Amino acid sequence: MKIGMIGGGGVGQTLGAALLARGHEVVIGVRNPSAEELAKPRAQAVPLADWVAKNGGKVVTFAEAAAFGEVVFNVTQGAHSLAALTAAKASNLAGKVLVDVANPLDFSQGMPPFLDPTYAGPTSLGEAIQKAFPQTRVVKAFNTIAAAVMVEPGLIPGEHDLFISGNDAEAKAAVLEIARSFGWTGFADLGDIIGARAQEAVLPLWVRLWTTGGTHLVNLKVARA
């Protein structure tokens, strides 16, 4: 499958490498894919030139990545997601499955971050993206675990769940298939894209579990009667 990443940070690199390893074609979209930019060090990730040398794929513009992908991943920081997706262009995203992995976290007051009020309360980043790109089939997924766990859930022993939501059943099924290829077996389907409120609200809990529990390899299992 042709897959476009919107964003070249640690999450995009990790998902992209795992997808390439499973035989997909992957491009990473960034604001400026110049040779100089690709050589730059990146926080919690490798220079993109090193990533390409190791994994294959290529680095292109946001718009080229959106145009290329049958499935597109939003792996930008939540504060920049709408700007990056706007640069990627609605026409390039129309009809596509857009997996929204981003979290609208505000780090302005240090740790722990909190949910940006713009996308908290009776809304969410996932819903804001779906509203801004009505022709795109937005699926919120993978936003509640560390990047390493996204593509290797077995790093955490025992049962635990991937949360997913979205308005389009076929789009959700496509994302579940990708997740299964990474080894996911437990899923918590939170219904339509309003479920993104719940998924993004996991972040304050996840960060706290990480900082008080000593490992970012932490996730949740839903238990029901």
Given the rule CB under 8 A, which residues bind a copy of itself? 106, 109, 112, 114-115, 117, 120-122, 155-160, 188-191, 194-195, 197-199, 201-205, 207-209, 211-213, 215, 217-225
Q: Which residue in this structure is represented by tokens 């992908």?
A: 69
We find the least distance from the C-beta atom of residue 100 to a copy of itself, in angstroms, to be 16
**CB 139 → a copy of itself: shortest distance, Å?**
15
Toward a copy of itself, which CB reaches closer, 1 or 210? 210
Which residues lie below 8 Å from residue 166, measured CB to CB, with a gap of 6+?
Answer: 137, 138, 139, 140, 141, 172, 175, 192, 193, 195
Residue with smaller CB distance to a copy of itself, 23 or 157: 157
Q: Which two tokens stand for residue 157?
A: 């022993």
Q: Are 149 and 217 within 8 A, CB to CB?
A: yes
Closer CB to a copy of itself, 49 or 194, in the complex: 194
Residue 92 vs 165, nearer CB to a copy of itself? 165
3-state secondary structure at position 27:
strand
Query: Residue 27 in contact with residue 53, Cβ under 8 Å?
Result: no
Residue 145 CB, nearest distance to a copy of itself (Å)? 10
CB of 2 to a copy of itself, least distance (A): 31
Q: What is the CA radius of gyration of the chain?
A: 16
